[in-house]
Amino acid sequence: MANAFQYLAQQRMNGGAEPVETPNHFCGCTLWLTGLSGAGKTTIATFVRDFLKANRIPAYLLDGDVIRQGLSVDLGFSDIDRTENVRRISEVTRLLADSGVICIAAFISPFQKDRAFARELHEIADLKFYEIHVDTPIEECKKRDTKGLYARFERGEITGLTGVDAPYQTPESPEIRLETVEPTVEETGLEVIRYLVEQGVLNQSVFEEKKEEHSEEEEVEDLEEKLAEVDLGENSEKSPQKRKFKKKTGKKKKDRR
């Protein structure tokens, strides 16, 4: 298997057409978010995906619940099934990263050996893999209980809940460790984006364009305030000048959405 992946990596480096330059220079990779149920993995992953897409960067989100309903519908929650689930996800993320997409995987993935397998699968194929530990204390996860799993466990309806009566092996040296108790979703999501810029996966322009867009909004708001201060007479609402401005600013706002 290793030789096959090394061959594919060499083909990608030496063969085929020249790479096409794309907006906000990027390269395919995998962001692997791991943490307890209720830690905030999917919420952060969704923010990152939406940010990337807003900047015209191909991104795809793989979520544990969705995968369980399709690709891994035949698997349970035994240790063996959990390992098989991560193995399947690892293969899919590698393929997406190889296609030039930033693949964002949000899975509990409790075992270190399984996450190491996912990393090795990417490294053999010369693809970047970033492990992100969403480090939310179990007490906070229980308070959130977004899926009601902790409440069901307390009622004795389920067993094998990761972090409670099933093990979760904390990542020893993840590329990023995110705390979610105090920081907002935007703050943690942008921490991931900044890391990708530092690693050369993204161009700094992803922040510059956002700043320019914000400046344009402020400019429109300033113009509206100035217009409100201008005395256009008794029929100001019917003034051609005011109607024209409203139509123009309305169009700009529509274009930015």
Q: Which of 99, 109, 173, 205 is catalytic?
A: 109
Instruction: Kindly write down the DSSP assignment for every residue of the chain, as one continuous string.
Output: -HHHHHHHHHHHHHSSSPPPP-SS----EEEEEE--TTSSHHHHHHHHHHHHHHTT--EEEEEHHHHHHTTTTT--SSHHHHHHHHHHHHHHHHHHHHTT-EEEEE-----HHHHHHHHHHHHHTT-EEEEEEE---HHHHHHH-TTSHHHHHHTTS----BTTTB-----SS-SEEE--SSS-HHHHHHHHHHHHHHTTSS-THHHHHHHHHHHHHHHHHHHHHHHHHS---TTGGG-HHHHHHHHHHHHHHHHH-
Catalytic: 173? no
Catalytic residues: 109
